[in-house]
Structure 1
Amino acid sequence: MEKTMYENYLNILKSELIPALGCTEPISIAYAGAKARKLLGKIPESMEVYCSGNIIKNVKSVIVPNSGGERGIEIAAVLGVLGGDEENGLEVLEGVTEEEREKAKKLVQADFCKCRLQEEAENLYVRVKVMAEGQWAEATVAGQHTFIARLVKNGKIIYEQSQGQKEEVYGDKSLMTVKGILEFADCVEIKDVEEMLKKQAEYNEALADEGMKHHYGADIGKILFQKNRSIADVAKARAAAASDARMGGCSLPAVINSGSGNQGITVSVPVVEFGKAWNVGQEKMYRALVVSNLLSIHQKQYVGRLSAYCGAVSAACGAGAAIMYMSGGDYKAVSMLITNTIANVGGIICDGAKPSCASKIAASLEAAFLAYEMSREGKTFLPGEGVVKENVEETIKSIGYIGRVGMKQTDIEVLNIMMDNIDLRENMKKI
């Protein structure tokens, strides 16, 4: 592989596969809060948080880690201000103390933090403004969960980054192809990816262990594990259990994919489980994890980081493709699997981060495992059948277009329902 392309794929992995403590949307708010507080130079007397609809959707129902079981934008933001360490990135709340937790709860109850919807912002947008003694500071995160787009103090721009600078940091995803990903997986020097993939496997398997041992959310993983015990069943159950724990406020970190812990879990846990069961060896498993991670990222570049399209679908598709690759499947077999998966479950809605994410992971993986069996039999959905196009790249783009453009109004209506902003009974009468 040409060196520049090799480095591009490597940079994408390095920028995407990072540890995060808890659901990444509330953590992004906490991170922006910690940044703003540091810029102000003191604990604020009051604060305001402006979020895009997708951030609000993903924070509303999920437990914020190290919060003592609390949910919501306010507690995430206040914890970030009081006890967050911005140097820790998406593990910003790792060092929060019991004293800071109790103080944060009291400040939230005292209306210390005011939250507002930021109209016409990009899907991933957080702006935190903190005020004290006549001074103010503001930190804006946009596009990526820890990408600081702007820092402002008392009206003066202290720091600003452009979209172009973002691409320099995170790699150019527009250059990715399925064929290129498989070529990179075949030729990558394991030493270049071993540290991050080992961490992903260990962190996310630890979450699966936690979810299987203790009660979190709806215990989807445990319920699945009580049924059949094939490799696919175990892989599906453990991935769901890891999500149970993560959505339930477990303090263990995950290594994420496409800005999401649930997607990081979905691309890794099933691949690790199949790798162990098949005894493929560490190197082959790491190469398969390269495939799963990059294929998920490849699909998400068209959908967008946050949308009404559930990211578990693209992540499960990546995991299925990696399992096919690990079993010796070639480009044609992997392409068939991708097509078969997204033609089946593409379009599952995202209605925020919460316990039911575990069941959506399980459903998406079930579709990926069916796609695997279809592909092994040489069966695939054909061009012209629904959103399936002439080749796998065009099929990926077509479902991405539906996720980003076609489901845009769906995203708005999902948020309206979640925020009780519409009268469903009256609106249904009009249809």
Structure 2
Amino acid sequence: MDKTVYNAFVELLGSELRLAMGCTEPIAVAYAAAKAREVLGQFPERIEMYCSGNIIKNVKAVTVPNSGGRRGLEVASILGAAFGDASLELEVISRVKDEEIARLQKLLDKDICHCHLETGKDNLYIRTEVFHGADSALVEIAEKHTYITRIEKNGERILSQEPLHLLKSDMSFLNLKDIYTFSKEVDLKDIDNLIVRQIDCNRNIAEEGIEKPYGSQIGRRYLGMYGDSDYRFKAIAYAAAGSDARMNGCALPVVINSGSGNQSITMSVPIILYAKEKGIAHEEMIRGLVFADLVALLQKKYIGDLSAYCGATCAGCAAVAGIAFIEGRDLKIIGETVVNAISTIGGMVCDGAKSSCAAKIAMSLSTSFLAYDMALNGLSFKAGEGLVVDDIEESIARIGRMGREGMRSTDEEILNMMLGY
């Protein structure tokens, strides 16, 4: 493989497979607030939070970790501003103490934080403006959960960065063939620490969700209904359970993919359980996870991190594609598995982060296992059926275009209904 492309893959995995605590949208809000307080130099008397619709819908119904079970933008903002450590980025509120959680309600009662819908911006957009006396500070985040594009203090700009889409750090080099080659050839010392951390963290939160009754207990119910006699049932249950825990306040960290812990859990946990069940060697499991991580990112390069398109769809077929990769299937079978899955449930909507995400994960993985079985038996969907064409890459791109461009109005209507308009 060309060295430049090889290095781009390694760099991409390093930038995407990051440690995060809780749902990434409220954590990004907390991070922006903590950074703004740091710039201001003191706790603000007033916080004005301006967020895109996709941030609002993903914060509205999810429990913020270390908040005493509370939800919402105001909770994430004040928790970050009062007790967060901005240097920890997506673990910004991981060190909040019990006595600080007890003080949170008193700060909320002061009504110092006001949240506003910001239109005409990227789907992932946060701007925090904080005030104390005559002093003010501003922190703006766009496109990625920790990518700060602007910092101001007292109206003076002290940091300004180009939007990510104008920089060279894009994913245009991603394609299924090169992902396959890279996953086969990558020197494990270049990525092993990233993938091992993903295994450890995501397995831990999945086990936590099985052991304890978080949220709607989708994972526990799935296991109760189908048992674990087939690794596929167990894989679906444990992946859903990881989301049960994460959406409902569990403070365990996860390694994210495409800015999402749910998607990373969905993509990785089935492969981890499959490898254990089948006695797969560590190296082969690592390579399968690398392949799956990159297949998920391949789809999201067309869709973006946040949209009306449920990311569990991308992650579910990526997980099963990773299992197919470990089993030595060729690109035709793997590609058909992906296309079969996304052309079946590619229209599943994202109506915010919440307990039902776990059920969507279960449905995505179930469909993806069916899609794989279809491909193995020569029953894949054919060109001309819906958005499917002869070229696998183009089929993936078409579904991605539908998710990003075609579902914009869906995204707007979902937000309008959630906000009561």
Q: TM-score band, normalised by the shorter chain?
A: over 0.9
1:257 aligns to what?
A: 257
Q: Cα–Cα, structure 1 residues 166 and 40, in superposed 2: closer, same or farther, change >3 Å?
A: farther
Hey, what's the Cα distance between the residues in 1 that align with 2:132 and 2:225?
Answer: 57
2:186 aligns to what?
A: 188
1:216 aligns to what?
A: 214
SS at match of 2:387: coil
Alignment RMSD, CA only? 1.1
Residue 279 (str. 1) matches residue 262 (str. 2): no
1:177 aligns to what?
A: 175
Counterpart contact for 1:107–1:113, Cα < 8 Å: no
Write out the 4+ residue segments of structure 1 that deviate beyond 6 Å after TM superposition: none
Give the Å deviation of 1:55: 0.3
Cα distance per residue 1:165-207 (max 9 Å; x no partner): 8745xx4301100111011000001111111100101101100
1:17 aligns to what?
A: 17
SS at match of 2:241: helix
Give the Å deviation of 1:101: 2.1
SS at match of 2:93: coil
Letter in 1 for 2:158: I
1:427 aligns to what?
A: none
SS at match of 1:145: coil
Taking only the aligned residue pairs, the percentage that are identical comes to 47
1:306 aligns to what?
A: 306
Letter in 2 for 1:90: L
SS at match of 2:49: strand
Q: How many residues align?
A: 419
Letter in 2 for 1:337: T
1:41 aligns to what?
A: 41
2:376 aligns to what?
A: 376
Hey, what's the Cα distance between the residues in 2 that align with 1:392 and 1:153?
Answer: 49
Counterpart contact for 1:267–1:292, Cα < 8 Å: yes
Moved more, 80-89 or 101-110: 101-110
Q: How does 1:293-332 map onto structure 2 within 5 Å?
A: 293-332=293-332
1:52 aligns to what?
A: 52
SS at match of 1:254: strand
2:350 aligns to what?
A: 350
Hey, what's the Cα distance between the residues in 1 that align with 2:106 and 2:7?
Answer: 48
1:428 aligns to what?
A: none
Counterpart contact for 2:143–2:164, Cα < 8 Å: no
Residue 234 (str. 1) matches residue 234 (str. 2): yes
Letter in 1 for 2:306: L
1:425 aligns to what?
A: none
Hey, what's the Cα distance between the residues in 2 that align with 1:130 and 1:77?
Answer: 11
SS at match of 2:225: coil
TM-score, normalised to structure 1's length?
0.96
SS at match of 2:129: strand
Give the Å deviation of 1:146: 0.5
Hey, what's the Cα distance between the residues in 1 that align with 2:175 and 2:167?
Answer: 17
Q: Which consecutive residues of structure 1, in runs of 5 or more, have no partner in the other structure? A: 422-431
TM-score, normalised to structure 2's length?
0.98
Give the Å deviation of 1:300: 0.7
2:393 aligns to what?
A: 393
Give the Å deviation of 1:164: 5.2
Hey, what's the Cα distance between the residues in 2 that align with 1:175 and 1:167?
Answer: 14
Counterpart contact for 1:54–1:307, Cα < 8 Å: yes
Hey, what's the Cα distance between the residues in 1 that align with 2:399 and 2:236?
Answer: 24
Give the Å deviation of 1:99: 2.9
1:104 aligns to what?
A: 104
2:156 aligns to what?
A: 156
SS at match of 2:107: helix
Counterpart contact for 2:73–2:115, Cα < 8 Å: yes
Hey, what's the Cα distance between the residues in 1 that align with 2:116 and 2:376?
Answer: 50
Give the Å deviation of 1:43: 1.0
Moved more, 159-168 or 132-141: 159-168
Hey, what's the Cα distance between the residues in 1 that align with 2:53 and 2:94?
Answer: 26
Hey, what's the Cα distance between the residues in 2 that align with 1:397 and 1:94?
Answer: 37
Residue 201 (str. 1) matches residue 199 (str. 2): yes
Give the Å deviation of 1:278: 1.4
Hey, what's the Cα distance between the residues in 1 that align with 2:13 and 2:116?
Answer: 34
1:8 aligns to what?
A: 8
Moved more, 267-276 or 159-168: 159-168
Cα distance per residue 1:129-179 (max 9 Å; x no partner): 1111211001011000000111011111100111358745xx430110011
Counterpart contact for 1:52–1:126, Cα < 8 Å: yes
Hey, what's the Cα distance between the residues in 1 that align with 2:362 and 2:352?
Answer: 17
1:268 aligns to what?
A: 268
Cα distance per residue 1:403-431 (max 9 Å; x no partner): 1111000001111111111xxxxxxxxxx
SS at match of 2:355: coil
Give the Å deviation of 1:314: 0.3
Cα distance per residue 1:58-82 (max 9 Å; x no partner): 0000000110100000010111111
